[in-house]
A and B are shown apart, each in its own frame.
Chain A
Amino acid sequence: MGMSLGFHIVFAVLGVGIPLLMAIAEGIGLWRRDQIWMQLARRWSAAFGILFAIGAVSGTVLSFELGLLWPGFMAFSGSIVGLPFSAEGFAFFLEAIFLGLYLYGWNRLRPVHHWLAGLPVAASGAASSIFVVMANSWMNTPSGFKLTDGRLTSVDPIAAALNPSTPTETIHMLVSAYVVTGFVVASVYAVGLLRGRNDAFHRRAMMLGMAIAAVAILLAGITGDNSARFVYGAQPAKFAAMEGLYATTRGAPLHLGGIPSDSQHRVLFAIEVPYGLSLLAAFDPNAEIRGLDSFPADQRPNPVLVHLSFDTMVGLGTGLGLLALVFWLSVLRFRRISSSRWLLWLVVIGGPAAVITMEAGWFVTEFGRQPWIVYGIIRTTAAATSAPGLGILFAVFLAIYIALAVTLSRLLLLLARHNREQRVAQESEA
């Protein structure tokens, strides 16, 4: 399931982000009657057709796996938290419908109608991300029900959907989706620029990617900071694991990097910022932060995994923010995209780095919640299926995902080459 999720999420975020890019590109193209912007939108729509299909099938896998792998979880929580999933179903419905119109309607719809068909794709992509993450945030801060003698009573699915984590978590995920899309798109075209394809097509695509990325990374920083502070209040064990804090401490230091050691009860090789953690979490240098040791041994998440994921996310996220800043400063300074190769190389690296940042973020929220699947209510082990042969199933799905990923990348590369050849042919005709 974690693997399916890790695979799906890459397509899901592109499914949220790319429609926005397409809509912007086509919008500019229509408005300025500019063929290059139109062509960009058209190219993206072809690539997006494949990406969306893979995202859709991997999403289907997830909806089945909820039952196939976690029957215990679904039997308990289906009635409480199924609602956002159903709402997501509608958002996905609208996305699929309008995408069908958009992909196959280039020659059938009038240009403005075609552009309008793209807008619901972008909007429902964003909505479906919000609905799905609502369900996840419920797992972090379950609400909207009561347990009386182990039985569910007074179920309120609306309250469950709008649980305390919902505002922070859904927004952080949504802006992260734009971060990833922006950097990935910029990265792809930076490769082209590095290979000497220095034309308006590549430059504009990269500028648009970096523009979205710059706005989104700033928002991701703000919402992420907000999220962490929320976790400090709502999920102290996760927070302690994120920061690698063992003993409950007043005026806790901030650990940058380092490896938490369970045997020595401290973080090894870390840079310590005195009072940093208390200051960040509570705006008070002497605030008390609960340490991992204050939780029973069987209720602690794995601090090595969680702390390292957290620092990866924050570290890479900060790096990406700086990259966006440097990029736009240089654009302002030189009035064009700098031709400096090292900056382009950094943009190339920015794409995969953004994906890693996002995956690390998911590691924090998922592993930080362990050993619970629903925080404080159901343990992960109690919710898993009793079915045999899980190892085989895991191997089969892994093989399929690899095959899909390989074919997908090959196809996208071929598509790019085909496009390029076509363009060269057109230019030589002209």
Chain B
Amino acid sequence: MTQAGAAAALLWLSLTAYAVLGGADFGGGVWDIFAFGPRAHAQRQAVARAMGPVWEANHVWLIFMITGLFTTFPIAFSSLSVALYVPMTIALLGIVMRGAAFAFRAHGQEAVGPFSTWGIVFGGSSIIAPFFLGTAAAAVASGDIRIAGGQVVSGFGTGWSTPFAVVVGLLGVSLCAYLAASYLMVETEDNPQLQSDFRRRALAASAVSGVLAMLGLLLAYAQVPRVWSELTGNGLPLLLLALINGPIALWGVWRIRPRIARYAVAAQVALVLWAWAAGQWPYLVPPDLTISTAAAPAATLQAWLVVIGVGMAFVIPSLAVLFWVFKARNPAAG
């Protein structure tokens, strides 16, 4: 694999990490705003307890991806920033409000009690951010973003406001909710009632995600031929794996095997992302930017790969400690 290809694969891995870890944090916000029933307060507390120690580290995967993208594919970064100016700005607002609201509630709680306005902000922005990130992803995949001579020529509204993009945005939200509910089933193993609340939520999210995924495929077939031919071309093996893995995840949720469900749901999200990546390889922003044409000079790629190697040697063991301390042991002990 070329250096540019390696860089693209690493960026895609960090996007995957952000989706399965950071996505669940957005999903936590969804379940916070939709908390109801006699255990609504306990549900919110479970979300806050699960997210607290890890959400900031999960969030860094996004920053890592952004800085990596502008270092290794500067032209793609600047073009996407222009073409997706509107959805990215709204998603950014969502990310800002989500983080701030969570921090205000989590660390202010003992001083100020539950903070209802910030609670709504927390939940609302947790829906807005993944929705617009999803529409932006759909815009990239659809091939509607056109770049000529280093300038975006397709306008600010192109690609992310189609029915297909809206469905992908909604799918993004429901997958986040699915991830969160299945992780929360692990976090609430010591409380069967609460666990069964999250089990029902996971089942609902999986049904919604399944319907949206089918709708998305139908729309792709009818309106976005590029995505259809990619998914049924290079992306097909991974897409078929996703079709096998989906029922495994559902079985894990149904039969209350939360640890299996957790990994299967995460794998489902990863498979969708990698089917997309495999489908559009070797394009970065189809149809005008390929991985090799958008790549930074070789010296930069090389230096970046070295920095990544050194950095990951520190970050991965540290992350392992973080997750081991807060996720591997009985969560109720803290």
Is A387 touching B67 in the complex (CB atoms < 8 A)?
no
Most A CB within 10 A of own CB, among B102, B107, B118, B333: B107
What residues on B are CB-neighbors of A58 within 8 Å? 96
- Please give the distance in Å from B83's CB to the nearest CB on chain A: 10
Complex-state Cα separation, A411 to B104, whole angstroms? 7
The verdict on A74 contacting B74 (CB below 8 Å), with A56-B99, A400-B96 known, is: yes
What residues on B are CB-neighbors of A152 within 8 Å? 297
Q: Does B326 contact A (CB under 8 A)?
A: yes
Is A57 touching B326 in the complex (CB atoms < 8 A)?
no
The verdict on A67 contacting B303 (CB below 8 Å), with A100-B56, A104-B334, A400-B93 known, is: no
Q: Does B53 contact A (CB under 8 A)?
A: yes
Segment from B36-44, B108-116, B215-223 that makes contact with A: B108-116
Segment from B229-237, B265-273, B314-322 that makes contact with A: B314-322
Complex-state Cα separation, A386 to B112, whole angstroms? 44
Q: Does A219 contact B (CB under 8 A)?
A: no
Complex-state Cα separation, A267 to B106, whole angstroms? 52
- Interchain Cβ contacts within 8 Å, total number: 227
- Please give the distance in Å from B223's CB to the nearest CB on chain A: 27
Residue of A nearest to B112 (CB): A414
- Please give the distance in Å from A144's CB to the nearest CB on chain B: 9
Is B314 touching A94 in the complex (CB atoms < 8 A)?
yes
Is B112 touching A411 in the complex (CB atoms < 8 A)?
yes
* Partner of B299 from A59, A74, A157 at Cβ < 8 Å: A157
Is B300 touching A387 in the complex (CB atoms < 8 A)?
no
The verdict on A63 contacting B300 (CB below 8 Å), with A50-B107, A89-B68 known, is: no
Is A79 touching B96 in the complex (CB atoms < 8 A)?
no
Segment from A105-113, A205-213, A333-341 that makes contact with B: A105-113
Complex-state Cα separation, A74 to B102, whole angstroms? 31
For chain B, give the interface size range. Answer: 35 or more
Q: Does B241 contact A (CB under 8 A)?
A: no
Q: Which residues of chain A (381-404) have a CB below 8 Å from chain B?
A: 385-388, 393, 396, 400, 404
Is B71 touching A85 in the complex (CB atoms < 8 A)?
yes
Q: Does B292 contact A (CB under 8 A)?
A: no
Complex-state Cα separation, A75 to B296, whole angstroms? 10
* Partner of B63 from A89, A103, A407, A415 at Cβ < 8 Å: A89
Complex-state Cα separation, A396 to B94, whole angstroms? 12
Q: Does B226 contact A (CB under 8 A)?
A: no
Q: Does A60 contact B (CB under 8 A)?
A: yes
Is B315 touching A80 in the complex (CB atoms < 8 A)?
no
The verdict on A100 contacting B322 (CB below 8 Å), with A50-B108, A67-B78, A158-B303 known, is: yes
Is B53 touching A103 in the complex (CB atoms < 8 A)?
yes
What residues on A are CB-neighbors of B77 within 8 Å? 67, 74-75, 78
Residue of B nearest to A388 (CB): B156
What residues on A are CB-neighbors of B312 within 8 Å? 90
- Please give the distance in Å from A5's CB to the nearest CB on chain B: 15
Q: Does B246 contact A (CB under 8 A)?
A: no
What residues on B are CB-neighbors of A63 within 8 Å? 63, 66-67
What residues on A are CB-neighbors of B99 within 8 Å? 53-54, 56-57, 60
Residue of B nearest to A51 (CB): B103
Q: Does A294 contact B (CB under 8 A)?
A: no
What residues on B are CB-neighbors of A64 within 8 Å? 66, 81, 88-89, 92
Most A CB within 10 A of own CB, among B60, B102, B325: B60
Residue of A nearest to B296 (CB): A79
For chain A, give the interface size range. Answer: 35 or more
Is B304 touching A82 in the complex (CB atoms < 8 A)?
yes
Residue of B nearest to A79 (CB): B296
Is A90 touching B150 in the complex (CB atoms < 8 A)?
no
- Please give the distance in Å from B228's CB to the nearest CB on chain A: 30
Is B297 touching A155 in the complex (CB atoms < 8 A)?
yes
Is B66 touching A411 in the complex (CB atoms < 8 A)?
no
Is B80 touching A67 in the complex (CB atoms < 8 A)?
yes
Complex-state Cα separation, A396 to B62, whole angstroms? 23
Q: Does B57 contact A (CB under 8 A)?
A: yes
Is B108 touching A93 in the complex (CB atoms < 8 A)?
no
The verdict on A411 contacting B108 (CB below 8 Å), with A79-B297, A83-B71, A97-B322 known, is: yes
Complex-state Cα separation, A49 to B111, whole angstroms? 14
The verdict on A82 contacting B334 (CB below 8 Å), with A67-B81, A155-B300 known, is: no
Is A93 touching B70 in the complex (CB atoms < 8 A)?
no
* Partner of B300 from A50, A80, A94 at Cβ < 8 Å: A80
Complex-state Cα separation, A120 to B314, whole angstroms? 11
Most A CB within 10 A of own CB, among B54, B80, B108, B326: B108
* Partner of B81 from A46, A71, A88, A109 at Cβ < 8 Å: A71
Residue of A nearest to B110 (CB): A418
Q: Does A37 contact B (CB under 8 A)?
A: no
Residue of B nearest to A46 (CB): B107
- Please give the distance in Å from A132's CB to the nearest CB on chain B: 11
Q: Does A265 contact B (CB under 8 A)?
A: no
Is A78 touching B315 in the complex (CB atoms < 8 A)?
no
Most A CB within 10 A of own CB, among B93, B312, B333: B93
Q: Does A86 contact B (CB under 8 A)?
A: yes
What residues on B are CB-neighbors of A18 within 8 Å? none
- Please give the distance in Å from A390's CB to the nearest CB on chain B: 10
Q: Does A259 contact B (CB under 8 A)?
A: no
What residues on A are CB-neighbors of B79 within 8 Å? 71, 75
What residues on A are CB-neighbors of B322 within 8 Å? 97, 100-101
What residues on A are CB-neighbors of B74 within 8 Å? 74-79, 82
What residues on A are CB-neighbors of B78 within 8 Å? 67, 71-72, 74-75, 78
Is B70 touching A78 in the complex (CB atoms < 8 A)?
yes
Is A60 touching B62 in the complex (CB atoms < 8 A)?
yes
Is B81 touching A82 in the complex (CB atoms < 8 A)?
no
Q: Does B307 contact A (CB under 8 A)?
A: yes
Is A82 touching B296 in the complex (CB atoms < 8 A)?
yes
- Chain B interface residues (CB < 8 Å from chain A): 52-54, 56-57, 59-60, 62-64, 66-68, 70-75, 77-82, 85, 88-89, 92-93, 95-97, 99-100, 102-104, 106-108, 110-112, 118, 150, 156, 296-297, 299-300, 303-304, 307-308, 311-312, 314-315, 318-319, 321-322, 325-326, 333-334
- Of the A-B pairs whose beta carbons lie under 8 Å apart in the complex, a sample of 6, sorted by A's number, is A54-B100, A57-B99, A79-B297, A94-B318, A97-B318, A100-B57
- Chain A interface residues (CB < 8 Å from chain B): 46-47, 49-50, 52-54, 56-61, 63-64, 66-68, 71-72, 74-80, 82-83, 85-90, 92-94, 96-101, 103-105, 107-109, 120, 152, 154-158, 385-388, 393, 396, 400, 404, 407-408, 411, 414-415, 417-419
5 closest A-B pairs by CB: A82-B71, A78-B74, A67-B81, A53-B103, A79-B296
